[in-house]
Structure 1
Amino acid sequence: MSGAADRLHRHWRKGRLVPVVYDFGAEHEPIARLGGRLLWGADMRPLYDSFAEAGRLPPGAVVLDVPCGGGVAFRGVPRGAGLRYVAADLSRLMLGRARAEARRRGLDAAFAGVSVDRLPFADGSFDRCLTYNGLHCLPDPAGAVTEMARVLRPGGVLRGSALVTGAGRRQDLLIALLRSRGDFGRPGSLADLRGWLDDAGLEPADVTATGALACFSAVKPG
């Protein structure tokens, strides 16, 4: 791992203020909608609507949520869904918040303190991989997409969201500022995101953007 990548991992592993502020906003949808519109020119409704997709999986399906943050995607899984749910994050703070959220929602989940770009899971382990608002924080988002594709079974789906460049000058300046602070890694454009999915051998079913927020869904062939 390069020095810059190592610093970014330490930043998110040990950071407190930025993750907590982000998690508070994410857990309160009205705040997230307002912040998304003001900061990113984005309509956050498609993101929150997409959480419900995991809840429509059949009992016994195996789901990886990485980085899970404080567990915002848990809201899409109803009690008693019968999923085998693994929530993973580099931050111990976020994993603690996610555990508390899982208890509150009655979600039976396993938790792992790992980074999305180095997953300790065998090939083809998961039916679904969820990765919401994490790729732009990574030093190598393309490599992370490839790693998530590796742990998907054939026919499995990668679903998530990321902030992308090219939505407007104001949004790009904010992304640059967050990169300079060490909060963001190497965000790409919408075209870059499509390229990461293609290079990982995934077939994009849907890649759309609202402002600087891109939502995507892609299938592993087979």
Structure 2
Amino acid sequence: MADLRERWKRDRLTAAVYDLGVQSYPVAWAGGRALWGYEINRLWKSVGELAGTPDDSVVLDLPCGGGTSFRALSRGRRLRYVAADLSETMLDRARAQAAGRSLGQVRFVRTDAGSLPFADASFDLVTSFNGLHVFADPAGAVAEFARVLRPGGTLRGTAVVTGERRRGDLLVRALRLTGTFGPAGSADDLESWLSPHFDDVEIETAGSVAGFSARRITP
């Protein structure tokens, strides 16, 4: 899936249009319902849970996109927060968001989810909102998330899944052809990626989107 990675590395227009749509509530609400049968408030609720992350936690947000999750952060929080993405365009937009919100605790890293430049057990929390379906190797990305999480740490996110709605499946196929989506997978596939590395796995589908959370298995 080299072409997929290169697309997200270099395609500034796709990244900018996607981020504008997600950051605009009316667009995200209408697009979520029309394209995926999904209420965008579900995403914002999950993102909002970041506000309850204990101080001094180490958090990885990948893909951070244009800083979608920053709305749940507040100035002065003692979080060590790493915002990572493959797209330099997304990182530029996220940097602007962080500066506008005075979030000095955010560090930015450009990386591929399949090969993270972090040591084992580096993070207390990994979030991956709207990410797995655009990764070239979602199972490999989940394994990397598990590697960098400390035992007992949490993975939380959302992903487009197949097998829930015909319209959603057709759209996934079309986006694969454009080089925008990766192989994606069903909710069962998502569980199979998580279960070797995590317990307390919870997956809830709404339309063609699955919200998930899981706890890193403690040896």
Report the TM-score when normalising by structure 2: 0.96
Residue matched to 1:144: 141
Q: How big is the shift at 1:90?
A: 0.6
Which 4+ residue blocks in structure 1 deviate beyond 3 angstroms? none
Aligned position for 1:9:
5
2:61–2:83 CA contact under 8 A, matched in 1: yes
Helix, strand or coil at the partner of 1:36: helix
User: Are residue 39 (structure 1) and residue 38 (structure 2) matched?
Assistant: no
Q: Which residue of 2 aligns with 1:20?
A: 16
Shift of 1:44: 1.6
The Cα of 1:31 is off from its aligned counterpart by 1.6
In 2, distance between residues paired with 1:204 and 1:96? 35
Question: Do the aligned partners of 1:13 and 1:92 also contact (CA within 8 Å) in 2?
Answer: yes
* Structure-2 residue corresponding to 1:176: 173
Contact 2:63 2:128 (8 Å CA) reproduced: yes
Unaligned 5+ runs, structure 2 = none
- The one-character-per-residue Cα deviations of 1:88-126 (angstroms, maximum 9, x if unpaired) are 111111100000001111212110010111100000000
Match of 1:154 in 2: 151
**Partners of 2:145 and 2:194 in 1: CA distance:** 10
Structure 1 residue corresponding to 2:85, chosen from 86, 89, 111: 89
Q: Which amino acid aligns with 1:36?
A: G
Aligned partners of 1:10 and 1:136: how far apart in 2? 16
What RMSD, in angstroms, separates the aligned Cα atoms of the two structures?
Answer: 1.0
Q: Give 1:150 deviation, angstroms.
A: 0.5
Identity %: 49
Q: Tell me the secondary structure at the aligned position of residue 219 of structure 1.
A: strand
Q: Secondary structure at the match of 1:131?
A: strand
**Which of 103, 112, 135 pairs up with 1:107?**
103
Query: Structure 2: which amino acid aligns with 1:103?
Result: A
Letter in 2 for 1:146: A
> CA-to-partner distance for each residue in 1:35-66, whole Å, 9 max, x for gaps?
00000111121111111222211211100001
Which residue does the alignment assign to 2:216? 220
Residue 192 of structure 2 corresponds to: 195
In the alignment, the residues of structure 2 paired with residue 134 and residue 204 of structure 1 have an alpha-carbon distance, to the nearest angstrom, of: 21
Matched, 1:128 2:119: no
1:157 Cα deviation after fit: 0.3
Q: Which runs of 5+ in 1 are unaligned?
A: none
AA aligned opposite 2:45: D
Q: How many Å separate the matches in 2 of 1:100 and 1:167?
A: 36
Which residue identity is paired with 1:7?
A: D
Equivalent positions of 1:53-64 (< 5 A) are 53-64=49-60
